[in-house]
Amino acid sequence: MTATADAPARSGAARTSVRTQRARRTLVLLGLVGLVLAAALASIAVGTRSLAPGEVWRALFETDPTNEAAVIVRQLRVPRTVLGLLVGAALGMSGALMQGHTRNPLGDPGLLGVTAGASLAVVLAIAVFGVASPAGYVWFAFAGALIGTVLVYAIGSAGRGGATPVTLALAGAALSALLYAIVRAFVVSDSRTLDNFRFWQVGALAGRGEEVAWQVGPFIAVGVVLALVNAPALNLLGLGEDVARGLGQRIWLARAVGLAAITLLCGAATAACGPIAFVGLVVPHVVRALTGPDHRWLVPCSALAGAALLLAADVLGRVLARPGELQVGIVLALVGAPFFIALVRRRRTMAL
C-alpha cells in the first residue's frame, strides 16, 4: 500500500522537476539572446574611431556617401558584426558537436583536421597561385577544410570497427601534425608566403568585408540545420552505441550528419577569419554547466554563446589597443586560456 501511495507523489515530483529544468533552460536561452544583442550593439557602436550614440543611430539609416560616420558604421562595423555573429555561432555549435561525437572534453573543431586542412590550402593559395586577399582565401580554405575532414574520416574508418570516437581523434591528431609540417615547410622557405599567411593565421574579423560574409553564410546556414537535426541523435549516442542501436538509431547516419555539420560550420568559419581558438572548446563547457548535457538545448545555446563571446572579444580588442586594435584570435587566446583553466580547477564542467 505504501509503495502504491508513494507512486503518484514520485510521478508528480518528476513532472515538477522536468518543468523546472525546462524553465531554467528557457531562461538561459533568453539570457543568451540578450547577450548576443548587447554584443552586436557594442560591436556597431564601439571602434577605434569614437562616435556618439546619436551619430551611430543616424549613421545606420544615413545614405549620404560623404558622411564619414555612415561609411564607418554601414560599410565597416555592420558587415564585421554580421560576420562575427556567423563565425562565433558556427564555432560554438561545431565545438558542441565535436565533443558530443568524440566523447572528448578537450575536443574542439580542429580535432578532425579542419583547421590544418584549411591552413595548408591557404598556404598553397598564397605560394602557388599568388592569392593575397581574404576574399580570395575563402574558397581555398573551405576546400582544404573539407578535404582534411574527409581524409580523417577515411583513415579513422579503416579497420573492422569502422569510425569510432577514438579512431577519429587519433586520425585527426596524426593528419593535423602532418599537414602543419607541410605548412611550416612552405612558410620558412618563402618570406612572401609568411607575410601573407601570418595575417590569416592570427584569426581576425578586421579586413573582411561584406563579400566574405556572403560567401560563407550559405554554408554556415546549412551547417546549422544539420547540427540541429543531429542533436537528438547525440543524446542517444551518449547512452552508448549498443543502446542507441537498440533504440533504432542508425549510428553511421548520425556520424555522417554530425561530420558534415562540423565540416561546414568550422570550415566556413576558419575560411572566413582564420583559426580562432578556444571558442569551440570553452563555450560548450560553459553552456553545459547551465543547460545540462541535453544536446537539443546545448547545441543552439552554444551557437548563441559563441556569437556573444566572439563579438565581445572583438570589441575588447578594439578598446585595449586604441587607436589600433588587437585581433580577436589574440584576445581569445589571452582571455580563453586562463578562463578555461579556472573552469576546470573549480570543477564546474559537466560530464560528457
Give the CATH number of domain 40-61+69-345. Answer: 1.10.3470.10
Average pLDDT (211-238) is: 92
Burial of 341 (0-12, 13-18, 19+ CB in 10 A): exposed
Return d(Cα 26, Cα 97) in angstroms, integer: 21
Residue position matching grid coordinates 558556427? 90
Average pLDDT (2-9) is: 55
pLDDT at position 179, please? Answer: 92
The domain locations on the chain are 40-61+69-345
| Letter string b/e over residues 232-260, b meaning 16 or more CB atoms within 10 A of that residue's CB | ebbbbbbeeeeebeeeebebeebbebbbb
Of the candidates 176, 199, 172, 196, the residue with the CA atom closest to the CA atom of residue 186: 196
Q: How confident is the model at residue 345 (pLDDT cuts 50, 70, 90)?
A: confident
**What 3-state DSSP class applies to 27?**
helix
Of the candidates 275, 283, 267, the residue with the CA atom closest to the CA atom of residue 335: 283
Determine the residue type at 267.
Answer: G
Q: How do residues 33-69 score in pLDDT, each as one tens digit?
A: 999 999 999 999 888 777 777 788 787 777 666 677 8
| Letter string b/e over residues 266-279, b meaning 16 or more CB atoms within 10 A of that residue's CB | bbbbbbbbbbbbbb
Burial of 342 (0-12, 13-18, 19+ CB in 10 A): exposed
Burial of 123 (0-12, 13-18, 19+ CB in 10 A): buried
pLDDT at position 1, please? Answer: 47
Asked if residue 224 has pLDDT above 70, the reply is yes
Asked if residue 81 has pLDDT above 90, the reply is yes
Where does residue 162 fall: left (phi above 0), alpha (psi -120 to 50 degrees), or beta otherwise?
left
Average pLDDT (209-233) is: 92
Higher pLDDT, 36 or 128: 36
Average pLDDT (63-77) is: 79
pTM recorded for the entire structure = 0.87
Burial of 48 (0-12, 13-18, 19+ CB in 10 A): middle
Q: How confident is the model at residue 135 (pLDDT cuts 50, 70, 90)?
A: confident
Alpha helices for the chain (secondary structure H): 2-45, 53-60, 68-70, 78-102, 114-127, 134-157, 165-189, 191-201, 210-237, 241-246, 251-273, 279-291, 295-320, 328-345
| Letter string b/e over residues 91-114, b meaning 16 or more CB atoms within 10 A of that residue's CB | bbbbbbbbbbbbebeebbbbbbbb
CA atoms within 13 A on the CB side of 95: 32
User: Average per-residue pLDDT in the chain?
Assistant: 84
**Element at 83 (helix H, strand E):** helix 78-102
Asked if residue 264 has pLDDT above 70, the reply is yes
pLDDT at position 2, please? Answer: 52
Determine the residue type at 130.
Answer: G
- Give me the percent of the chain exceeding a pLDDT of 70: 91
Q: How confident is the model at residue 8 (pLDDT cuts 50, 70, 90)?
A: low
Which DSSP category does 341 fall into? H
Q: How do residues 145-203 score in pLDDT, each as one tens digit?
A: 889 888 988 888 777 766 677 787 888 889 999 999 999 898 888 777 777 788 788 88
Which DSSP category does 61 fall into? T
**Lookup: cell for 132:** 593575397
Average pLDDT (60-89) is: 85
